[in-house]
Amino acid sequence: MKIASCLKRLCLALPWASALPLAAHATPAQTQCPSQDFNRFLSAFSSDVSLQSAFQQHFVRKLTLRKSAANEWVPYQPMVDSRALHFPLMRPADVSFAAVDVTPDGKSATYTDKRAGLGNIKVYTFKHTNSCWLLSGIEDWSVRDDQLSLSGSPGLSVVEQRCMARAGVYGGLGGPERYPLTAEFYQASMDYLVCAAASGDPQISLSAAGLGLSGMAAFPGYGKTEQLFLAGVKGIPDAAVGLAEFYCDGGDASYTGACLAPDKAQAALLNSANTGSAGSLLALGEAYQTGKIFPKDLPRALACSRAALTAGDTDAQRAIDWLLGQGVKQDEALKCLPAQATGTS
């Protein structure tokens, strides 16, 4: 007893002794494997801290997000001593088909937990040994509020600024398309953009509408997309070109039929062109040229292209040259905008 007491006092006197665990972690050899079947193992492992402590590799790959020297969010994934992990490591698992992926050889498995949202995904990887499954990696793809740099943009609440910052984080992670969660990152970016667009900010609204139509994130629906475009047009008149295209194809870029909502498309272009929007004037000229939205009217198409060039859209010159090459005559008296839009002929 005296020797043991002496050794205990000696150990406590050493400066590094407090870093040692007072008791050894349970090991797979000491704890019975819950199951060789991964789903059953995961159910037990995720619900029992003692199993989490027992069935893990000595060094575990732990991924978190950090900003790089280039100010980009990137995964940082060092190997950490499993004794430094904080328990419990995870919530009781949802052992569904979509969440669990076991390799064909049965030697490794991945559990992806999206229940806290696409901006808070956790991924757990496991390796199978002769005795049982062992945790080999933890990925945390979330970003804390205190890690975000808020824009301070007027008109955006703190919540909306956080949403905008996170939209940038996950859009940046999805952009290179190098991670298995790329689709989830794009969708997270979309969700956060819609959150930030509640402010009515024109550019954010257009970014959300554009991403929703790109196919990289889920289409938010006709009504929501229209709402986002209309908010964008209020501050960026040229956005009416995209709105008119949306009215014509209904959000399906592969659609090649007649304009689905020509009245709405016409109104969008005319209202924007009345503000002097060069892009809308050029789009109006194209619409008169093709006859897709308005009845075909090449002289008016030329008038609109000339108006667009005057307003500063240099691309209009190509349209003017093409129309002149088709034999269309310039009529100085003919205006681009019809009488009902301007009150003149």
> What pLDDT digit, counting tens, does each position of 171-224 carry?
999 998 999 999 999 999 999 999 999 999 999 999 999 999 999 999 999 999
Residues 128, 223, single domain; the answer is no
> Where does a domain end: 193, 216, 235?
235
Query: How would residue 95 be classed by pLDDT, with cut points 50, 70 and 90?
Result: confident
Cα-Cα-Cα-Cα dihedral sign, residues 243, 248, 250, 252: negative
> Where does a domain end: 140, 175, 206?
140
pLDDT tens digits, one per residue of 228-259? 999 999 999 999 999 999 999 999 999 999 99
Residues 225, 153, single domain; the answer is yes
Residues 112, 196, single domain; the answer is no
pLDDT reported for residue 340: 53
Residues 125, 52, single domain; the answer is yes
Terminal CA-CA length for the chain: 109
* CB contact at 8 A, 222 and 251: yes
Domain for residue 328, yes or no?
Answer: no
Residues 93, 162, single domain; the answer is no
Q: Which two tokens stand for residue 85?
A: 């992990």
- With 0-12 CB in 10 A as exposed, 13-18 as middle and 19+ as buried, what is 147? middle
Q: What is the mean pLDDT of residues 263-272?
A: 97
Domain for residue 207, yes or no?
Answer: yes
> Where does a domain end: 106, 121, 140?
140
Domain for residue 109, yes or no?
Answer: yes
- List, as own/partner pairs, every contact residues 48-53 make where C-beta atoms lie below 8 angstroms and the sequence separation is at least 24, other chains included: 49/87, 49/88, 50/26, 52/87, 52/88, 52/89, 52/90, 52/135, 53/25, 53/26, 53/87
Domain for residue 313, yes or no?
Answer: no
Domain for residue 332, yes or no?
Answer: no
In angstroms and rounded to an integer, the radius of gyration of the C-alpha atoms of the chain is 30
Residue 320 scores a pLDDT above 50: yes
d(CA 305, CA 319): 6
Q: What is the mean pLDDT of residues 277-295?
A: 96
Count of domains forming the chain: 2
Residues 132, 165, single domain; the answer is no
pLDDT reported for residue 96: 84
Residue 164 scores a pLDDT above 90: yes
Residue 8 scores a pLDDT above 50: no
What average pLDDT does the chain have? 90
Residues 167, 189, single domain; the answer is yes
Domain for residue 265, yes or no?
Answer: no
Residues 154, 125, single domain; the answer is no
pLDDT tens digits, one per residue of 42-57? 999 999 999 999 999 9
Residues 102, 58, single domain; the answer is yes
Domain of residue 116, residue span: 30-140
Residues 135, 217, single domain; the answer is no
Q: What is the mean pLDDT of residues 286-292?
A: 95
Query: How would residue 27 be classed by pLDDT, with cut points 50, 70 and 90?
Result: low
CA distances from 301 to 72, 162, 271, 292 (A): 45, 45, 17, 12
Q: Where is pLDDT greater, at 61 or 341?
A: 61
